[in-house]
Amino acid sequence: MSRGEFHALQAPRTIDVASDLMISFELGVEDLADTHFALSPLEETVLSLRVLREPGLYALHLPWRRSALARLDARDTRLLTSLVGSKLALPDFLTPRPTTFAPTFEEQLSLVRRTPPKVIRRDVPAALVAEPVPDNAAAARFRDTACDVLRRYWELTIEPIWPQMQLVLEADMTYRARQLAVGGARLLFADMHPNLRWHDGVLSIDQMIGRHHVAVSGRGLLLMPSVFAHKPTPPVHPEEPPRLTYPCRGVATLWHPAPAPDATALVSLLGAPRAALLGLLDEPLPTVELARRLKVTPSAVSQHLRVLYTTGLLTRARDGRHVLYRRSDLGDQLAVPPAPPRTEL
């Protein structure tokens, strides 16, 4: 599918997030017993498209959005935002249910590439993204174009911050698991979001673009915290396996810059002589040269080098009569702390 064909399928930009419609999940005892969590790098990537499209709903993410837009080609930005429906829904086929606890982006994208055209023709209009895709060939082109642009988008804007995002998401799951253990389903869902209500075995999600009731019927409910979700997000289509993406706790901490390194901390940890040695060894040096620079005896330097080497902070290699020492990767991390991450990414 050409960029023009892809963009032509975009629905009118009429945003109306308020709705009195509702989606509900009916969970039996076995479903509650099989309620579990997963991470989805692809779903986070797709949900972040809402931030690109409607920045007013996501003030917290504006620094990230500015940086992301600066990295993106304008044509890709248009294609990406055209995947978001007029009421901010997203086609279900772009967010497949994770098959493991923490799949990779590529593993999930490969599932999307295998989506049958008939499913795409069902999901695109259901999310109010566009007019119905006219035929299976057009659906396949739509799918392949979406996958290509999403991969580029992931590499530029999400992958660099995914390790930090994963820590925040896992912290939320730890909290939720404790809520479930302490107070059951009622406590688990109590503070997820105001749009969620748990009553008599039914989990209701308000302000949806559709209205349907799903009997989970032994399939269990998959819960996925999200950095970029502004409200609970179940699948749009009732035939999709039961899952619920919900806003993650602690998202604000993701964009806080790390504290500046404390120059005295390394001395407190290693002692002044060893900290000074570690600072000098960004290039290979022999014992005698280190002793000359520090104005101490070679034997005193050797004692400290031995300790730093055995703890993995130094590497060494023989060069003729001399043994050359240099900081290891671990030593670099201690002696030269990484710069605080940019708040944008």
Burial track 286-316 (b if 16+ CB lie within 10 A, e otherwise): bbebbbeeeeeeeeebeebbebbbeeebbbe
Burial track 200-228 (b if 16+ CB lie within 10 A, e otherwise): eeebbbbbbbbeeebebeebbbbbbbbbb
pLDDT, tens digit, for every residue of 10-55? Answer: 443 333 334 458 899 999 999 988 999 999 999 999 999 999 999 9
pLDDT band, residue 321 (cuts 50/70/90): confident
Residue 342 has pLDDT above 50, yes or no: no
Instruction: Report the pLDDT value the prediction gives residue 264, as an integer from 0 to 100.
Output: 79
Residue 166 has pLDDT above 90, yes or no: yes
Beta bridge partners of 199: 202
Instruction: Report the pLDDT value the prediction gives residue 336, as an integer from 0 to 100.
Output: 67
Instruction: Report the pLDDT value the prediction gives residue 78, as an integer from 0 to 100.
Output: 94
Residues 25 and 234: beta-carbon distance below 8 Å: yes
Nearest residue to 252 via CA among 340, 164, 163: 164
- Per-residue HEC secondary structure of 266-314 comes to HHHHHCHHHHHHHHHCCCCEEHHHHHHHHCCCHHHHHHHHHHHHHCCCE
pLDDT band, residue 128 (cuts 50/70/90): confident
Instruction: Report the pLDDT value the prediction gives residue 160, as an integer from 0 to 100.
Output: 93
Residues 17 and 57: beta-carbon distance below 8 Å: yes
Three-state secondary structure call for residue 198? strand
Report, as an integer, the average pLDDT of 83-97. 92
Q: Percent of the chain scored above 70 by pLDDT?
A: 89
Q: Which residues contact 199 (CB under 8 A, 6 or more apart)?
A: none
Report, as an integer, the average pLDDT of 111-130. 91
pLDDT band, residue 268 (cuts 50/70/90): confident
Residue 60 has pLDDT above 50, yes or no: yes
The span from the CA of 161 to the CA of 255, in Å, is 10
pTM: 0.71
Residue 64 has pLDDT above 80, yes or no: yes
Instruction: Report the pLDDT value the prediction gives residue 259, as an integer from 0 to 100.
Output: 60
Instruction: Report the pLDDT value the prediction gives residue 7, as an integer from 0 to 100.
Output: 52
Report, as an integer, the average pLDDT of 126-130. 81
pLDDT, tens digit, for every residue of 146-159? Answer: 999 999 999 999 99
Instruction: Report the pLDDT value the prediction gives residue 101, as an integer from 0 to 100.
Output: 94
Residue 170 has pLDDT above 70, yes or no: yes
The span from the CA of 328 to the CA of 49, in Å, is 40
Report, as an integer, the average pLDDT of 74-92. 92
Provide the phi-psi class of 331: left if phi over 0, else alpha when psi is between -120 and 50, else beta: alpha
The span from the CA of 227 to the CA of 207, in Å, is 20
The rounded mean pLDDT for the chain is: 87
∠ CA 176-178-183, nearest 5°, is: 95
Residue listed under structure tokens 């509702």: 22
